[in-house]
Chain A
Amino acid sequence: MLNIKNIHAQVGDNKILKGLNLDIKPGEVHAIMGPNGAGKSTLGNVLAGMEKVEVTEGSVDFLGKNLLDLEIEQRAAEGIFLAFQYPVEIPGVNNMYFLRAALNAQRKYRGEKEMNSSEFLKLVRTKIKQMSMRDDLLRRPVNEGFSGGEKKRNEIFQMSILAPKLAILDETDSGLDIDALKIVADGVNQLRDDNRSFIVITHYQRLLDYIVPDYVHVLADGKIVRSGDKSLAIELEKTGYGWLED
Chain B
Amino acid sequence: MFKNPINLAFEVLTSQLDEPKWLQKKRSNALKKFQDYGIPTHKSELWKYTNTKKLERLEEVTDIAESGSVLFSDSSLSEKQNTQTEKGTDPKTEQLFVFTIEGELPKNTQMQDILQIDEKNWKNIKTDKERTFVELNTAMLNGGFQLTIPKNSQLKLHIQYQQISKDWENIRTVINVGENAELDLTESYDYDCRINHVSVINMTADSRLKFQSNKLLRKTAALIHFSQINCAQNVTIQQGAVNNNAALSHTIQEVNFNGQHSKFEAASVNVAHDSCHISENILTNHKVQNCKSNVLKRSLATDKASIAINAKAIVSKGADGSDVAQSLKNILLTDDANIYSRPELEINTDDVIAAHGSTVGELDETSLTYLRSRGIPKEQAKFMLIESFLQDANIFNTEDFLDRIEL
Stretch at the interface among A91-99, A185-193, A238-246: A91-99
- Shortest 4 CB-CB contacts between residues of A and residues of B: A92-B388, A76-B375, A102-B374, A106-B375
Complex partner residue of A158 from B366, B374, B389, CB under 8 angstroms: B374
Residue pairs across A and B with Cβ atoms less than 8 A apart, 17 shown, are A50-B369, A72-B369, A73-B372, A73-B375, A73-B376, A76-B372, A76-B374, A88-B366, A88-B370, A92-B388, A97-B384, A102-B374, A105-B375, A105-B380, A106-B374, A109-B375, A141-B388
Known pairs A50-B369, A88-B367, A98-B371 / 20 extra A-B pairs, C-beta < 8 Å:
A48-B373, A71-B372, A72-B369, A72-B373, A73-B376, A73-B377, A76-B372, A76-B375, A77-B375, A84-B373, A88-B366, A90-B370, A90-B371, A92-B387, A93-B387, A98-B376, A98-B384, A101-B380, A103-B375, A106-B375
Q: A92-B389, A92-B392 are in contact. Are A102 and B376 (CB under 8 A)?
A: yes
**Any B CB within 8 A of the CB of A51:** yes
In chain A, what residue has the closest Cβ to B389? Answer: A92
Least CB distance, B369 to chain A, in whole angstroms: 6
- Cα A97 to Cα B374 in complex, Å, equals 13
Contact status of A90 and B385, CB under 8 A, knowing A51-B369, A72-B369, A84-B370 = yes
Is B388 a contact partner of A91 (Cβ separation < 8 A)? yes
User: How far does the alpha carbon of A109 sit from the alpha carbon of B372 in the complex, in Å?
Assistant: 13
A199 at the interface (CB under 8 A from B): no
A162 at interface (Cβ–Cβ under 8 A)? yes
Closest A residue to B374 by beta carbon equals A102
Interface contact B369-A93, CB-CB below 8 Å: no
Docked complex: A39-73 residues within 8 A CB-CB of B: 48-51, 71-73
Supposing A72-B369, A88-B370 touch, asked if A93 and B375 sit within 8 A by C-beta, the answer is no
- Whether A82 sits at the interface, judged by CB under 8 Å, is yes
- How far does the alpha carbon of A162 sit from the alpha carbon of B380 in the complex, in Å? 18
Known contacts A84-B370, A88-B370: A102-B375 contact under CB 8 Å: yes
Q: How far is the CA of A106 from the CA of B380 in the complex (A)?
A: 12
Contacts of B372 in A (CB 8 A): 71-73, 76
B361 to chain A, nearest CB (A): 14
Complex CA distance for A82 and B371, rounded to whole angstroms: 12
Inter-subunit contact B388/A76 (CB<8 Å): no
Q: Is B378 at the interface (CB under 8 A from chain A)?
A: yes
A141 contacts across to B, CB distance below 8 A = 388
- Interface contact B384-A101, CB-CB below 8 Å: yes
B-chain residues with CB within 8 Å of residue A97 when the two chains form the complex: 384
Would A93 and B384 be within 8 Å (CB), given that A51-B369, A72-B369, A84-B370 are in contact?
A: yes
Contacts of B374 in A (CB 8 A): 73, 76, 98-99, 102, 105-106, 158, 162
Q: Which residues of B contact A92 (CB under 8 A)?
A: 387-389, 391-392
Distance between Cα atoms of A102 and B380 in the complex (Å): 10
Which of B370, B374, B376 has most A Cβ within 10 Å? B374
Q: Which residues of A contact B387 (CB under 8 A)?
A: 92-93
Q: Which residues of B contact A106 (CB under 8 A)?
A: 374-375
B370→A105 contact, CB < 8 A: no
Most buried by B among A82, A92, A98, A109: A92
Contact A71 B378 (CB under 8 A): yes
Q: Scan B178-218; emit 1 where CB is below 8 A from any A CB, else 0.
A: 00000000000000000000000000000000000000000
B350-385 residues with Cβ-Cβ distance < 8 A to A are 366-367, 369-378, 380-381, 384-385
Among the interface residues B375, B381, B387, B392, which one has the most CB atoms of the partner chain A within 10 A?
A: B375
Q: For the complex, what is the distance from the CA of A126 to the CA of B380, rounded to whole Å?
A: 27
A89 → B minimal CB distance (Å): 8
The residues in A between 99 and 119 inclusive whose CB is less than 8 angstroms from any CB of B are 99, 101-103, 105-106, 109
What CA separation (Å) do A77 and B385 show in the bound complex? Answer: 20
Known: A101-B380, A158-B374. A93 touches B366 (CB 8 A): no
Task: Mark contacts of A174-207 with chain B using CB atoms, 8 A cut-off: 1 yes-contact digit, 0 otherwise.
Answer: 0000000000000000000000000000000000
Write out, one digit per residue, whether chain B residues 56-98 have a CB within 8 A of any chain A CB (1) or not (0): 0000000000000000000000000000000000000000000
- Interchain CB contact under 8 A, B388 and A105: no
Shortest distance between the CB of B61 and any CB in chain A (Å)? 37
